[in-house]
A and B are shown apart, each in its own frame.
Chain A
Amino acid sequence: MNTLATTQPPAAGEPLMPLHRLLRAYMNESRSQFIQAVRAPAFAFPFLLLPVPLYLFFGVVMASASKEIAANPALMNYTFSAWCSMAVMGPAIFGIGISLAMERDANLLKLKRALPLPSGSYLIAKVLMSLAFAAISVVLVTIAALVAGKLTLSAGGLIAMDAVLILGAIPFSAIGLFIGAYASASAAPAYANLIYLPGLWLSGMFFPLPKVMQPWSVIWPAFHLNMTALAAGGMKVGVSPLLTGAVLVSISVLFGGLAIRRLARTG
């Protein structure tokens, strides 16, 4: 063959990817996920900015009026943790679940599988996007809480709590991946809501549940995130943080694994 090598560099046998290019591929993928999320105002606005006014109104103004909190000021830490948990869950479940389902329907995943993407970069990028969103919204709520929230946490406790909350995006991202991997684009929002809304209310984060429902709060991942975060902040909770943390890790492994398995097979 004599037509080779006008634009081709000399054939080097294996088309190896230099490490810096490999890292760049991961970075580029994550950056484009983030750009897309930010460019969708219907997504970015409610998930990045809305938690702050919601927290200030319900978690600070309304809560301050309650007698229980007057008796026990540490309860302000609980409302803070609850609103942060909510801020973390949204972008992970909705952002990943719906976008992934839509991209599957649009054959984009099929194309990505045919292209030489570094393994997992696409899914990792989505998880990093939701971590970034979680970090931004948790930091924003934290600032609001420091200004107005009357937190009784120590500085170390607050940092530990924020760290747990931000990392808490991972199990919910795994759930998002799971929804996106299995549901069609039209069904994904419904499934996402089915996890998100009951998870918020039935996990007992925002208000005490009736006694019969209390034991069932443990089935919602939100409960485990909230409990782990509170424990990390040094608050007293009824469950061992090792156990709730282990539940979060298991959720990540189980749902993430199922999603990867499904995507590896069908794209």
Chain B
Amino acid sequence: MSSQERLHALDAVRAFALLSGIVLHATMSFFLPIPAHDVSQSALLNVVFFLIHTWRMTTFFIVAGLFARLVIARRGTRGFIADRAKRILVPLTVGWIILAPLTIVALIWGVTRSADPATVAAVSRPSVIPAGAFPLVHLWFLYYLCIFYVALLTVRGLSIKVDAAGRVGRVLDHGARALMSSYAAPVVFAAPIFAVLGFDERLAVLGGIPTPDSSLVPQLPALVGFGTAFIVGWLLHRQLDLLTQLRKRWLGQLVVGLALSIACQTVPGIKLGTTAPWLGHLLTSATPLYAACYLLSSWYWSFGIIGAALRFCDGESAVRRYLADSSYWLYLAHLPLVFFLAAAFAKVPWHWAIKFPLILAITMTVLLTSYHYLVRPTWIGEILNGRRYPRAKRAVRREASAAVLAQQAAPMSLEAEPLAQLIGARKSYGKSQALDGVAIDVRRGELLALLGPNGAGKSTAISLWLGLLQADGGQVRLMGRSPLEVESRREIGVMMQEVALEPLLSVRELVELAASYYPRPLSVQETLELTGTTGLAGQRYAKLSAGQKRQAQFAMAVVGQPKLLFLDEPTVGLDVQAREHMWRAIRRLITGGCSVVLTTHYLEEAEALADRVVVLAKGRVIASGSVAEVRSTVSRTHISCTGALTAEDVRLWPGVIDATQDAHKLMITALDAESVVRRLLTVDASVRQLEVRPADLADAFTELTKQAA
């Protein structure tokens, strides 16, 4: 377990603690009079609240203490102060100014709307007004973090002066190691807070450490309880390997935590507060027993949860990372919304099992949307998470506008610019690399044949140009722009493989529909004539044969007068006549200035039509050039004749690659045609019907792809 992995797990723990807080606040209206008194009350949600409340803040402050030392270790004291000022103090002050009034308004609305008059009176005139009263609302945890940071820096400064040798530190490390290696650690860590709250009835009435959200004067229980957690986190970071102890004991700690929680609920004489503290509850001598169970349970839960995260959320996960990044914002912003929704739903006569998830769903949708669009890519995200993530679409837009600017700057180059380009394009699907740094230009007025065996990357290349896929690396341009822009696609026509068009429309209707996408289409009649589909016009697509379907698709591809036409295996399933017709139509289009990218398995088709050929294999360009150029990369020659010699006789001659024979003819594939022919004539006087033919594209293709394999 490397230290980096551990930190992913702790990120997850922090996010879990914060998000649980949202759940916790959403439960309140279903068993408390604040933030509203819901008509549908739930004992189950009271238990949920109690359980989350038990461990949430303790866990949070353990992780906070650990991360605090991490930041100091990475950035030094000054860096730490700057970082914390930005990420804790700014959200505390700015957040408070915005969130506190909203929260209080939602709270007042909810309480006055739904609770009985006695509660309203009690809330508006609380019996005990704490010294330094100030509504910190849920941002109190940031305030206490600041207090802990100041205390920490002070103690650290002093200890460096007083105990330069680090003796105290070593003693503490030793103690922490001994404690963490047993199940007893929570007993020791719970002791300080037990000293403060062990005999305090507030613990049971409130179901936990009193939340210090209504005063600026630091409250002793919170200072001690959460301060201990913060220190424990700090000590854990001094010896990160101690986390393995937590990892090992995750299940045991959770079981003990749960058992203690159940014990709390059943301590005789304690009736847990399902009502607010100001309504009062009598306590008995059972208080210390309850306090012991409760405070211990909160530590066992915390260690169990951290251990479980180390055990199960170790690695990096995009979803967890996103949630971890977003959780800070979600938690900061959630309270007014949750309280408002609680108030709004309080009187709706639905069951809590509907309302509670609904409140959570609405809250999370609103908050995640706001995070994704307003926080993550902006300066707010930079403040809260330390970095901003630019949105992908924006990057595309920027790239597009850069391209437009480049065009404006150099209008002369427009004519010469390729219609479609892949520039070092990369694309992989999982581990398989479909395109590995491919560069292809499609020039004006040419037919480019894209050849390659199955899986070579042809379809991926075309999908990149069509904007159906996005490259992992390199650039993809279509008409000098990003293929994602609809404007660039208005100048292309497409014929894909394995597409079923709308079966119930006639060919004429399909062509009309396609025509409507383009600014200056051909007339439907012209298109039908050009593509030889006039006879099919009235037929429904479903009734056409496979070849006729290809013809209809071809008509749809050309109707928009495209400058660039992508034809993916256009003549599959066509009879000879229909294929000839399509070839003629393609040639006419090219004469008219249209460029074509053609992929085909019929090499004679490429040979007949292509100006240029690009051969792909295993995601790379292995050959490109005119048909003649590619053909000439293979220096083989085909020789055939009749005579007395057999294939076996000639196979081992120098310069012969292969020899075969049928009833009439001997066929030889040779590298050095001249010497083989000379020897043939010398050895066998009966040689007749001698034919010598240079390599064709199919030979070149076979040879090239064999070399690449």
Partner of B490, one of A9, A17, A111, A119: A17
Question: Does A108 count as interface, using CB distance less than 8 angstroms?
Answer: yes
Q: How many residues of B contact A (CB 8 A)?
A: 46
Known: A115-B517, A215-B351. A110 touches B496 (CB 8 A): yes
With a cutoff of 8 Å between Cβ atoms, the chain B residues found around residue A8 in the complex are 561, 563, 592-593
Task: Report yes or no: A7 in contact with B349, Cβ–Cβ below 8 A.
Answer: no
Q: Does B520 contact A (CB under 8 A)?
A: yes
On whether the beta carbons of B513 and A267 are closer than 8 Å, the reply is: no
Asked whether B496 lies within 8 Å of A35 as measured between CB atoms, the reply is no
The answer to whether A107 touches B468 (Cβ under 8 A) is no
**A15 close to B491 (CB less than 8 A):** yes
CB pair A36 B499 closer than 8 Å = no
Q: Does A235 contact B (CB under 8 A)?
A: no
A113 touches B500 (CB 8 A): no
Please, how many angstroms separate the alpha-carbon atoms of A106 and B500 in the complex? 5
Is A114 a contact partner of B496 (Cβ separation < 8 A)? yes
Q: A216-B351, A218-B350 are in contact. Are A17 and B519 (CB under 8 A)?
A: yes
- From known contacts A1-B445, A6-B591, A8-B592, infer whether A116 and B502 are also in contact, taking CB-CB under 8 Å: no
Q: Are B592 and A6 within 8 A (Cβ)?
A: yes
Q: Report the bound CA distance from A14 to B414 in whole Å.
A: 12
Binds B, one of A22-30, A60-68, A75-83, A176-184: A22-30
Residue of A nearest to B411 (CB): A13
Contact B499 A108 (CB under 8 A): yes
B343-359 contacts to A, CB under 8 A, are 348-351, 354
Q: Find out whether the CB atom of B489 lies under 8 angstroms from the CB atom of A115.
A: yes
Q: Is A147 part of the contact surface with B, judged by Cβ < 8 Å? A: no
Instruction: Say yes or no: is A155 at the interface (Cβ < 8 Å to chain B).
Output: no
| Residue B444 CB within 8 A of the other chain | yes
Q: Are A108 and B501 in contact (CB under 8 A)?
A: yes
Q: Is B509 an interface residue (CB 8 A)?
A: yes
Q: Which of B487, B496, B520 contacts A111 (CB 8 A)?
A: B496
Per-residue CB proximity of B463-491 to A under 8 Å, as 1/0?
A: 00011100000000000000000110111
**0/1 interface trace, chain B 549-582, chain A, CB 8 Å (1 if under):** 0000000000011010010000000000000000
> How close is B42's CB to chain A, nearest CB, in angstroms?
13
Q: Which of B365, B416, B517 contacts A117 (CB 8 A)?
A: B517
Is B466's CB under 8 angstroms from A114's CB?
A: yes
The answer to whether A29 and B513 have CB atoms under 8 Å apart is: yes
**B-contact 0/1 string along A186-197, CB 8 Å cutoff:** 000000000000
Shortest beta-carbon distance, B410 to chain A, in Å?
A: 14
* Bound CA–CA A219/B498 (angstroms): 41
Complex contact B593–A9 (CB within 8 A): no
A152 contacts chain B at the CB level, 8 A cutoff: no
- What separation, in Å, do the CA atoms of A247 and B520 have in the docked complex? 44
Interface: B415 (CB within 8 A): yes
Q: Is B505 engaged at the interface, CB distance under 8 Å to the other chain? A: yes
**Closest Cβ of chain A: how far from B676's Cβ, in Å?**
43
For residue A39, CB closer than 8 A to chain B, the reply is yes
Say whether A32 contacts B591, CB under 8 Å: no
Q: Which residues of A contact B487 (CB under 8 A)?
A: 14-16, 116
Chain A residues near B348 (CB, 8 Å)?
239, 243
- Tell me whether A36 and B516 are in contact in the complex, defined as CB-CB below 8 angstroms, given that A3-B593, A115-B489 are known contacts: no
Question: Which of B490, B494, B504, B519 interacts with A40 by CB under 8 Å?
Answer: B504
Closest A residue to B444 using CB positions: A1
Contact with B along A220-248 (1 / 0, CB 8 A): 00000000000000000011000100000
A3–B445 CB distance below 8 A: yes
Which listed residue (B354, B466, B517) contacts A219, Cβ 8 A? B354
Chain B residues closer than 8 Å to A211, beta-carbon distance: none
Residues of A within 8 A of B516 (CB): 21, 24-25, 27-29
Chain B residues near A5: list those with CB within 8 A.
593
Q: A228 CB to closest chain B CB, in angstroms?
A: 15
**Shortest distance from the beta carbon of A16 to any chain B beta carbon, whole Å:** 7
How many Å from the CB of B345 to the closest CB on chain A?
9
Q: Does A254 contact B (CB under 8 A)?
A: yes
Most chain B beta-carbon contacts within 10 A, residue among A7, A24, A35, A267? A7
On whether the beta carbons of B593 and A110 are closer than 8 Å, the reply is no
Contacts of B650 in A (CB 8 A): none
Contact of B494 among A18, A111, A218 (CB under 8 A): A111
Q: Report the Cα distance A29→B516, complex, angstroms.
A: 9
Q: Shortest beta-carbon distance, A8 to chain B, in Å? A: 5
Please determine whether A107 and B500 come into contact, CB atoms closer than 8 angstroms: yes
Determine whether the beta carbon of A15 is less than 8 Å from that of B519.
Answer: yes
- The answer to the question of B512 belonging to the interface, with a C-beta cut-off of 8 Å to chain A, is yes
> A6-B593, A28-B512, A215-B350 given as contacts; is B494 within 8 A of A36 (CB)?
no
Contact present for A32 and B513 (CB under 8 Å)? yes
List A contacts of B517 (CB < 8 A): 25, 115-118
Q: How far is the CA of A219 from the CA of B353 in the complex (A)?
A: 11
- B518 interface residue, CB < 8 Å from A? yes
A18 neighbours in B (Cβ, 8 Å) = 519
Decide: B519 and A21 in contact? CB cutoff 8 A: yes
Residues of A within 8 A of B496 (CB): 107, 110-111, 114
Are A116 and B518 neighbours in the complex by a CB distance under 8 Å? yes
A110, B351: Cβ atoms closer than 8 Å: no
With A1-B445, A4-B444, A8-B561 known as contacts, the answer to whether A106 contacts B494 (CB < 8 A) is no
Q: Who on chain B is nearest to A17 by CB?
A: B519
Q: Which 6 A-B pairs have the closest CB atoms?
A: A106-B500, A114-B466, A3-B445, A28-B516, A7-B592, A116-B489
* 7 additional contacts (CB under 8 A) given A40-B504, A111-B499, A219-B354: A4-B444, A8-B563, A8-B593, A15-B490, A24-B516, A28-B513, A108-B500
18 contacts between A and B (CB under 8 A): A3-B444, A3-B445, A3-B591, A4-B593, A6-B593, A15-B487, A17-B519, A28-B513, A28-B516, A36-B505, A107-B498, A111-B494, A111-B501, A116-B518, A215-B349, A215-B351, A239-B348, A254-B365
